[in-house]
Amino acid sequence: MSSAEERVNAMRGYKATLNNPRVSDEAKQNAQSMLDQLGGDQPSHDLYAESGEQNKDPMRVNAGLKAAAQNPNVSDEARRSAAERVGENPEE
């Protein structure tokens, strides 16, 4: 795997394996070994460095704020704050 993006994608798969209760212990050990070989969090840092972007994706931030504004499990104050940041009425 050459690019940081490919390494990050591989890591996502191995992390999913570690968190899947239907995966054998042997497979989880293999996934952990592969994660260790891929360099921990370094690939994601490389990916941000390649793109020159250190900030979060604005589209994803906006989507998260919209979700928080509509989520009944979020406090009223947090819902209002999220709605204000995206310019929506929290009562919609």
In a domain, 41, yes or no: yes
**Per the structure, how many domains does the chain have?**
2
User: pLDDT digit string (tens) for 12-66?
Assistant: 888 899 999 999 999 999 999 988 888 765 656 666 666 555 567 788 888 999 9
* Domain with 43 in it: 1-51
Residues 2 and 34 in one domain: yes
Residues 3 and 21 in one domain: yes
- Name the pTM for this structure: 0.46
Report the alpha-carbon distance of residue 69 to residue 82 in Å, rounded. 5
Residues whose CB is less than 8 angstroms from the CB of residue 74 and which lie 6 or more positions away in sequence, other chains included: 68, 82
Residues 1 and 39 in one domain: yes
User: Looking at the predicted structure, is the pLDDT value of residue 91 above 70?
Assistant: no
b/e burial code for range 82-91 (CB count within 10 A of at least 16 → b)? bbeeeeeebe
Report the alpha-carbon distance of residue 92 to residue 89 in Å, rounded. 6
